[in-house]
Chains A and B, each alone.
Chain A
């Protein structure tokens, strides 16, 4: 009751609402404008006053995108890349996180500190040798080459160790051992089901990271068939005379799936940010 009373509108909060509404418009306007431009012919761009209402070229602009880049192929490449990297990172991180949380072995603390230190090294430091390595393996211009770099994810181990040590009771493990469970069986049947929420958090972090990363994908992927969405979209901007309607149509359709997923799982997205950074 009292809380409701508190939430009643008061005059003093008008400036605060004004700021929040301005911030919301500022955040959302580029999305709306991108949609408007994706529905208009390129010339609309030169009109004064500027076009702010959707036009009729939605399909035509997207058709132009399809003629310029293999859009669906790139989308598929990105989805494949993100999904497989995420699955492998979840496996690597949960195994190592489990080991760091529950087993005793010499050098454990030193190794864990080493992992934390690797979080500070900027990825660009190794760019050239990584490129050289991938080219020696013959993985240039392949999704293997694009994906291998993201498998190194120290944050994942950090999160998993934290989660396992908080939520998997030692008693449960001991009981399972007395029942004759092997360590791997414990991982599979006890640890995995318990740490599902941590999988969701880390999964979202890795998936969005790989989805949006540019430098490495841009370096490794050279031909349109192997392009991911980011590289394909960037290539749309390289022509001398860019068709803005087509360009933003490409960006729009590449962003729509993410927006839908985000709106469905926004709580999970937002908590993944706080959990991923605060722990």
Chain B
């Protein structure tokens, strides 16, 4: 085959080769066209339209009216916006930070050579992820129902804590929602960390053992630094996800979701502005603010995560010298 190709290549006139190149070019553009058409219609156009809308007054039907920065100042002066931002942050921290820490520990255990039945544990711990957010919110909604006999109240009763009105109390709602986020995602992160751990060469640990490093030292000086890309990825993804929280609180609170503020998130605030109050301008301003907040928080978190690990590396190097 090599031979026939060489022969053909010498025989092919230059012109034909050029047209072959052109053909490839045309095919290239043609094959990426469907994606870019979809992107233009439901990605780019709505994003630009949103930014334009953020400076208009519009109820969805009549004429748009340019109002400058008024929508932004309306949103930023609304105590409910700040409350929803606060709620989003609190539930974000409560729901994701433990998730990542527990995920690392579980993955570390599952990766230990001495542990049996790892596949069973892995599948079980991952299973919550396949349930939908709505299903999780409904099951936890019954578990944490505002009822003295709710199973959650029964459980905290063992520890001598009085029954809580989970759906209407400031912290009750946040804790319940954070717990369901934690439950659904902890296995997902464990799987990602496990893949990360399995990519670390075994001989690194063997060498460290020979050098006299114990398991804890190995964990902090080999495992964590080498897991860093995976940690960064999960921190980034869960930060972005946490800032977009919508389904869990909305479904958990049911009919009172948009009339109470204990668990209202920024996306719920946006949704309420747009679809209950028909105020598309302020809702779009909120969307733009949310984008800015997500970019800031996600890069800050990613930067902090990579920074703290770098420091640890520095300490390690200092010790060695």
Cβ-based interface call for B161 (8 A): no
* Interface 1/0 per residue, B261-288 and A, CB below 8 Å: 0000001001100110000100110011
Q: Is the Cβ of A152 less than 8 Å from the Cβ of B280?
A: no
Bound complex: CA A131 to CA B46 (Å)? 9
In Å, the complex CA distance between A218 and B186 comes to 26
Number of interface residues of A (CB under 8 A): 102
Q: How many angstroms between the C-alpha atoms of A239 and B237 in the bound complex?
A: 34
Closest to B135 in A: A251
Within 8 Å CB of B240, what residues of A? 122
Q: Is the CB of A126 within 8 A of B43?
A: yes
Q: How far is the CA of A229 from the CA of B138 in the complex (A)?
A: 13
* B296–chain A nearest beta-carbon distance, Å: 13
Best-buried of A157, A230, A240 by chain B (most CB within 10 Å): A230
Known contacts A33-B143, A122-B240, A28 near B42 by CB under 8 Å: no
**B residues less than 8 Å from A230 (CB atoms):** 132-134
In the complex the two chains form, is A277's CB within 8 Å of B233's CB? yes
Complex contact B233–A233 (CB within 8 A): no
Tell me, in angstroms, the Cα distance from A175 to B36 when the chains sit together: 30
> Which residue of chain A lies nearest to B154 when distances are taken between CB atoms in the complex?
A50
Is A130 on the interface with B (CB-CB < 8 A)? yes
Total residues of chain B contacting the partner, CB 8 A: 102
Assess the A133–B139 pair: CB atoms within 8 A.
Answer: no
In this assembly, does A183 line the interface, its C-beta being within 8 Å of a C-beta of chain B? yes
Residues of B within 8 A of A237 (CB): 138, 141, 251, 254-255
Chain B residues positioned under 8 Å from A132 (CB to CB): 49, 60
User: B52-63 vs A: 1/0 string, CB under 8 Å?
Assistant: 010000001000
Residues of A within 8 A of B295 (CB): 120
Choose one: B31, B35, B60; the contact of A115 (CB below 8 Å).
Answer: B35
> Shortest Cβ distance from A118 into chain B, in angstroms?
6
Q: A7-B113, A103-B27, A105-B24 are contacts. A215–B246 as well, Cβ < 8 Å?
A: yes
Q: Is the CB of B135 within 8 A of A254?
A: yes
Q: Which of A34, A95, A126, A266 contacts B47 (CB 8 A)?
A: A126
Contacts of A123 in B (CB 8 A): 244
Q: Contact: A99 with B45, CB < 8 Å?
A: no
A50 and B287 in contact (CB under 8 A), knowing A6-B113, A152-B42, A214-B246? Answer: no
Interface flag for A76 (CB, 8 Å) = no
The verdict on A19 contacting B126 (CB below 8 Å), with A99-B27, A149-B42, A248-B142 known, is no
How close is B117's CB to chain A, nearest CB, in angstroms?
A: 8
Given A20-B106, A105-B25, are A248 and B287 neighbors across the interface (CB < 8 Å)?
no
In the bound complex, residues from chain A placing their C-beta under 8 Å from that of B271 are 127, 215, 219
- Which residues of B have CB within 8 Å of A244? 142, 145
CB of B23 within 8 A of chain A? yes
**Would you list 30 pairs from A and B whose C-beta atoms are within 8 A, ordered by A residue?**
A13-B112, A16-B109, A19-B105, A24-B121, A30-B128, A30-B140, A37-B142, A99-B27, A111-B32, A120-B295, A122-B290, A122-B294, A125-B287, A128-B274, A129-B46, A130-B42, A178-B8, A212-B132, A212-B133, A212-B134, A214-B250, A214-B251, A215-B267, A218-B247, A237-B254, A240-B255, A242-B254, A273-B188, A278-B192, A278-B233
A interface list, Cβ under 8 A from B: 6-7, 9-10, 12-13, 16-17, 19-20, 23-24, 26-28, 30-31, 33-34, 37, 45-50, 91-93, 95-96, 98-100, 103-106, 108, 111, 115, 118, 120-133, 148-149, 151-152, 157, 174-175, 177-178, 183-184, 187, 208, 211-212, 214-215, 218-219, 229-230, 233-234, 236-240, 242, 244, 247-248, 251, 254-255, 258-259, 262-263, 266, 269-270, 273-274, 277-278
